Structure 1
Amino acid sequence: MNELILLVEDDEQIHEMVANHLKKEGYRVVSAFDGDEAIVLFSKEKVDLILLDLMLPSSNGIDIVQKIRRESLLPILIMSAKDSDVDKALGLGFGADDYIGKPFSLIEMTARINAALRRSNQYTQTQTTSNNQVNKVAVHNLIIDLDNFTVLKNRKQINLTAKEFQILSLLAAHPNHVFTKGQLFEKVWKETFYGDDNVINVHIRRLRSKIEDDPSNPIYIKTIWGIGYKMELNK
């Protein structure tokens, strides 16, 4: 274990307690005490995960999540004393991967960090053949070949449109990460999202009809109501 965690927390006592614990657990830690410092460190360091307090001086946590999500899909865990469903939805809707309500136990925090890193790294695997390198993502009984643009389910090929394949591969490459409809649209269509989510809804519905045994009770692409979608994997 040698992952680098960017810890963003302005309370010095909490910051010191969390940083010391993470180091004892074998993580490397870089520290920021406000939003501006966090963005600078994110740009300079090769960070594996961000542990982020929502309430910060100079820039709040949601602003930081939005800025980082424009450049990276690395795991972001939010910490906040405002442990309401509204705050959870707000944080996850803007691209955070998980939420830890204050006060929290260090054991719970460590477990959530371990799970986020495991989900980030475990399900995208690179296989080398004698002729070339093939990138494949395995999700339950789906195999998504990112180089050949093919999808197999139970060893049978599923025919997807280009946009359906892009949506599926994006979700599968970032398991359990919640994407808003706007984020999906801008990453797949490469256009600015103005709030009309009908095109996303139609593509998700068609995609589910092809990959799900029961599209009305999906096991691959889960709806996060009021936010967006995620590819759900067993934790």
Structure 2
Amino acid sequence: MSNYGKILLVEDDRALAQWVQEYLVEQGFEVSHIDRGDLVVNAVKRDKFDLVLLDLMLPGLDGIEVCRQLRGFSQIPIIMLTAKGDEFDEVIGLEVGANDYIIKPVRPRALLARIKTMLRNQTTSQTSEQAQTSQPQCIEHGDFVIDNKSKSARYQGTEIELSTNLFDLLWLLASNAGQVISRDTVFKTLKGREYDGMDRRFDIMVSTLRKKLNDNPQKPKKIKTVWGKGYLFVADAWH
């Protein structure tokens, strides 16, 4: 069977890990499994993986800290597995650099779809970055500057600390300043799938951006939510 990619599965539930590994191998992936969070960084540095499936609750080191450490040296796609329905944990995972998350119990077809989408997006992103060399890589609106090449943003001379997910969302909005960007467009652009009408991750990430950019969450002026339509980056609100 074809090898569609090499996956590192980090999961301490042996029964779950076994069926996930067997299922993904049947689908044509090569899968390595470890059951402790403190073993992940060395594994990723030692071997070349295409994606990490990372449980949130792990012995040795929890998934949030593992994700934070991986993002210190690698942009490998990370999908977090969480048994918690706690929105707070999911958002923290995205803010420290996870690309996506799936809430347990894991459905095989849904997991496979997320993995394929993530790997496809990774390839598309690399191709897109190569094609964008002739396009503007830096955008300025008043006191706000965002640089896609260095993946950095500054407001009033101060650098804004952003995870990869938050930067990508902010770049998308800033690149379309003055236009309302629908949730469906955001999901298709950043996640490679349609908005299901329920997932609130980008609403929460917009709220996080407002806090980082000193935008009043009750009456935002810089990044607005247009109810029923989407998000609006206001170009003239950054002076």
When the two structures are superposed, what TM-score results if normalisation uses the length of structure 2? 0.63
Identity %: 27
Q: 1:20 to 1:228 in 2, by over 3 A?
A: farther
Return the match for 1:225 from 194, 206, 209: 206
Residue matched to 2:176: 212
Return the match for 1:7 from 6, 9, 25: 9
Amino acid at match of 1:72: S
Kindly provide the CA deviation profile for residues 159-185 of structure 1, in whole angstroms up to 9, marking residues without a partner as x. 846x95623x567xxxxxxxxxxxx45
Q: CA deviation at 1:43?
A: 1.1
Amino acid at match of 1:27: F
Return the match for 1:107 from 94, 106, 109: 109
1:193 & 1:165 partners in 2: Cα distance? 10
Amino acid at match of 1:166: D
2:36 & 2:79 partners in 1: Cα distance? 16
Tell me the secondary structure at the aligned position of residue 29 of structure 1: strand
2:84 & 2:208 partners in 1: Cα distance? 19
- Please identify which structure carries the higher strand content: 1
Kindly provide the CA deviation profile for residues 167-220 of structure 1, in whole angstroms up to 9, marking residues without a partner as x. 3x567xxxxxxxxxxxx45xx89xx96879xxx99xx69x83xx4263454767
Task: Map 1:1-235; keep pairs closer than 5 Å.
Answer: 1-125=3-127, 135-136=130-131, 144-145=132-133, 148=134, 150-151=135-136, 160=139, 164=145, 166-167=147-148, 169=149, 184-185=152-153, 208=174, 211-212=175-176, 214-217=178-181, 224-228=205-209
The answer to whether the Cα contact below 8 Å between 1:89 and 1:227 also exists between their aligned partners in 2 is no
The answer to whether the Cα contact below 8 Å between 2:138 and 2:145 also exists between their aligned partners in 1 is no
Q: 1:92 to 1:159 in 2, by over 3 A?
A: closer
Q: CA deviation at 1:14?
A: 0.7
2:82 & 2:91 partners in 1: Cα distance? 13
Kindly provide the CA deviation profile for residues 109-167 of structure 1, in whole angstroms up to 9, marking residues without a partner as x. 111111111111123328xxxxxxx921xxxxxxx21xx5x33xxxxxx9846x95623
Tell me the secondary structure at the aligned position of residue 147 of structure 2: helix
Residue matched to 2:214: none
Residue matched to 1:176: none
1:22 & 1:226 partners in 2: Cα distance? 36
Tell me the secondary structure at the aligned position of residue 178 of structure 2: coil
The answer to whether the Cα contact below 8 Å between 1:48 and 1:75 also exists between their aligned partners in 2 is yes
- 5+ long unaligned stretches in structure 1: 127-133, 137-143, 152-157, 172-183, 230-235
Kindly provide the CA deviation profile for residues 7-57 of structure 1, in whole angstroms up to 9, marking residues without a partner as x. 000111111111111111111111111012222211101111000000000
1:29 & 1:110 partners in 2: Cα distance? 13
Size of the alignment, in residue pairs? 181
Amino acid at match of 2:28: G
2:147 & 2:159 partners in 1: Cα distance? 17
The answer to whether the Cα contact below 8 Å between 1:80 and 1:100 also exists between their aligned partners in 2 is yes
1:135 & 1:166 partners in 2: Cα distance? 16
2:95 & 2:22 partners in 1: Cα distance? 30
- 5+ long unaligned stretches in structure 2: 191-201, 211-239
The answer to whether the Cα contact below 8 Å between 1:5 and 1:47 also exists between their aligned partners in 2 is yes
